[in-house]
Structure 1
Amino acid sequence: MLFVLPAVAKAQSESPDEIRMSIYFGGGSYDIDEFQATELYHWLDSVPNLLEKYQIHLISHTDPIGGKQFNEWLSKMRSESVQHLLLNKQIPEHKITIKNWGLENPVYSNQTYSGMQMNRRVDVILYPIVF
């Protein structure tokens, strides 16, 4: 069963120079719908001098349904799906780093259905390159 959230949510930055957006997934899924892929591409295009000024970090999360081993695999598959979109956008692989949290370190509470929905995501975070 697939749920629908606002497809793309832009979270508040944790630091003033950090820019981020999130890609959300259905339960047990690592498929990215066309709308979210298009939104990701538009967002990347809106960042001036993206490749010269930023390093891209992909941080993947899951809900706890399915257990630890399944969610480690699912987290990896989700981040690889987003990485594939970035590579198709001609982002060099060396500009991308990945952290797969799986069900560990949830940002939202997994005690509620809405919290679990919000944890089914990959955060795409642009960190400025310090010269």
Structure 2
Amino acid sequence: MSMKRISVLLCLLFLAGCAAPQTQTKTTKGGLYGAAGGAAAGALIGQVIGRSTSGTLIGAAIGAAVGGAGGAAVGKMMDNQERDMRNVLATSDAAAVSREGNLLAVTFKGDVTFDTNSAEVRPGLYSEINRVAGVMTQYPETLIRVEGHTDSVGSDAYNMDLSTRRANAVKTLLVQRGVADSRIEVVGYGETMPIATNDTEAGRQKNRRVEIKIAPQTQAQTQ
């Protein structure tokens, strides 16, 4: 299935989620439909790209996490994991931590993590990988998606392949450091999800990245 078809389907899911009964408050609708629609969209992406039940499960968890679904215990667990992840990466120039709802993200800068046109993680980044894996093993109730991204230089096919190989390289290092393989999904997005313009070198540097998304497993199980 093409990325264009995926985008259309996601739009339909989003519009369906917005069609909430008028008797609900805006806050209630935002929480319920943000989580449900996010979980459905995430599950769709997981199935289409991952083509596996595991991919669907992880996609649903990530979608629900963005929507903010989950009880106090789940929120507390993600608060603790965010705190621990920020602490271990506080002095890193290669990685950054962000949070949306109950979705935690660790972003590795591509220019620092890999040599040009290479999918081999630089040995200098092993310490960061070690620390990230150490936190992940302390929170086994989470599911993980490793996402690879590139800038727009080069062909679509080359960038998609490179982004997938880079994401796989990061996953391999995480697994070698004790993170269960069954918890991790790998997705290569190539140049399709830029976070900055590709018209400048500064923008292209931001787009060359690997993002690790971490979501509570319990959210996927309750959808």
TM over 0.5: yes
Q: C-alpha distance in 2, partners of 1:126/1:36? A: 20
Match of 1:114 in 2: 202
Q: C-alpha distance in 1, partners of 2:135/2:172? A: 19
Closer/same/farther in 2, CA of residues 90 and 80 from structure 1, 3 Å limit: same
Q: CA RMSD in A?
A: 1.9
Q: Which structure exhibits the higher relative contact order, with contacts defined as CA atoms closer than 8 Å and separated by 6 or more residues?
A: 1
Preserved contact between residue 7 and residue 36 of structure 1 (Cα < 8 Å): no
Secondary structure, in 3 states, of the residue corresponding to 2:144?
strand
Letter in 2 for 1:28: N
Gaps of 5+ in 1: 1-5
4+ residue segments displaced more than 6 Å: none
Match of 2:105 in 1: 20
**Offset from partner CA, 1:42-91 (integer Å, 9 cap, x none):** 1232357322x210111110011111111011011101110110111122
Number of residues paired by the alignment?
Answer: 124
Closer/same/farther in 2, CA of residues 43 and 86 from structure 1, 3 Å limit: closer
Q: C-alpha distance in 1, partners of 2:164/2:209? A: 11
Matched, 1:73 2:158: no
Closer/same/farther in 2, CA of residues 74 and 95 from structure 1, 3 Å limit: same
Preserved contact between residue 137 and residue 178 of structure 2 (Cα < 8 Å): no
Quick check: which one's helix share is greater? Answer: 2
Q: 2:215 aligns with which of 124, 127, 130?
A: 127
Secondary structure, in 3 states, of the residue corresponding to 2:189?
strand
Q: 2:131 aligns with which of 42, 58, 61?
A: 42
Quick check: which one's strand share is greater? Answer: 1
Q: Rg bigger for which structure?
A: 2
Match of 1:3 in 2: none
How much identity, in percent, do the aligned residues show? 23
Task: Give me the TM-score of the superposition, normalised by structure 1.
Answer: 0.82
